[in-house]
Structures are given as structure tokens and as C-alpha cells.
Amino acid sequence: MALATRSAAVLGTALFAFAALAPAAHAAPTPSPAPAAADSYLTNIEWGSHPGYDRVQLDFGGPVPAFGVTRVSELTNCGSGKPVSLPGTEFIEVNVGASAHDENGNSTFPGAWQKVLSLPFVTGYAITCDFEGDLRVGVGFRGHHTFTTSPQSGPSRIAIDVKA
């Protein structure tokens, strides 16, 4: 038993000495947070028809926010989960890291939150969500079309081009 106790004491001393020589462990610095969604506000939605494509454009105050686009079978309201009625046979939803209101709850988007359009391909748009930096805008099409999205600056905007 004395040997076991002595071995444990030597081992403990060695570990203590090793720990004392090792550099102190520090937590990795916390990276600065990404810009908050409140850094970008929806200020306008524009639309138009051009030869071979229709464009819906989301304009922003602040930097162009991160975004993603998904084809969906129907548009739904993020708060209630209820379908959003918009004409069209196909839909996309643009999910944007922005808001349509400022930090005081005041709207930054003066336009209609849902608009039926009479363009050759695009049937309309609807803002389907504006909650805690989760802004979603749905766009309806007539028929099956391809589309592209492109962020643009000066001014900050996201262009959605729906092609024949």
C-alpha cells in the first residue's frame, strides 16, 4: 500500500508540475457578431417587364442582406401558418436577413404587403414574414419558369429575374 500511495503522490506531483509549465488555457475569443438583421431594412419593392424576363426588385436601406431562395408549392404566413392567396401556378420564397420595420416597430416599407401584378410571367408578390430579422417575400409565376437572383449595391437591392 505504501508503494501505491507513493506512486500516486509522484504521479500527482508530475501532473501538477506539467500543468504549471503548460501555457494557461484561455477560451477562444468570441468573434464579433455578424451584422444584425436590423442593419438592413426593406424600403421598396419594384417590378417591371423586360424583353425575355420580368424583374421583382427588393430595395434595402443598409447593406445587401444575406438571402436564400426556395421554390415552394404555396406561400404561407410565418406567424399563422395560413396560406397566402396569390395568383400563380408556381411560387418562390425569398428568405432575407432583414426587416420591414425599424427597432421601434415603425414600418420601413410604405408599399402594399401583397400586390397582384399583370406581368407576362410574374403574377404578384407578398411579404409573408417580418419577424425578428426573418423577412420573407413570395413571388408567384404563371407556368414553369427559371429565375435568377442577384445582389446589387449602390443602392442595396436584390433583383429576382423570372425568365421565359
Q: What is the mean pLDDT of each run of 10 residues along the chain (164 residues)?
A: 44 41 35 48 97 97 95 95 95 96 93 96 97 95 93 95 93
Output the pLDDT for position 25.
34
Output the pLDDT for position 10.
42
Q: Cell digits for 68?
A: 436564400
User: d(Cα 69, Cα 95) in Å, to the nearest integer?
Assistant: 6
- Predicted TM-score of the model (pTM): 0.75
Output the pLDDT for position 112.
94
User: d(Cα 145, Cα 40) in Å, to the nearest integer?
Assistant: 29
Strand 67-72 versus strand 134-141 pairing type: unpaired
Output the pLDDT for position 39.
85
Output the pLDDT for position 164.
83
Strand 90-96 versus strand 67-72 pairing type: antiparallel
* Residues ≥6 apart with Cβ < 8 Å to 7: none
Output the pLDDT for position 4.
46
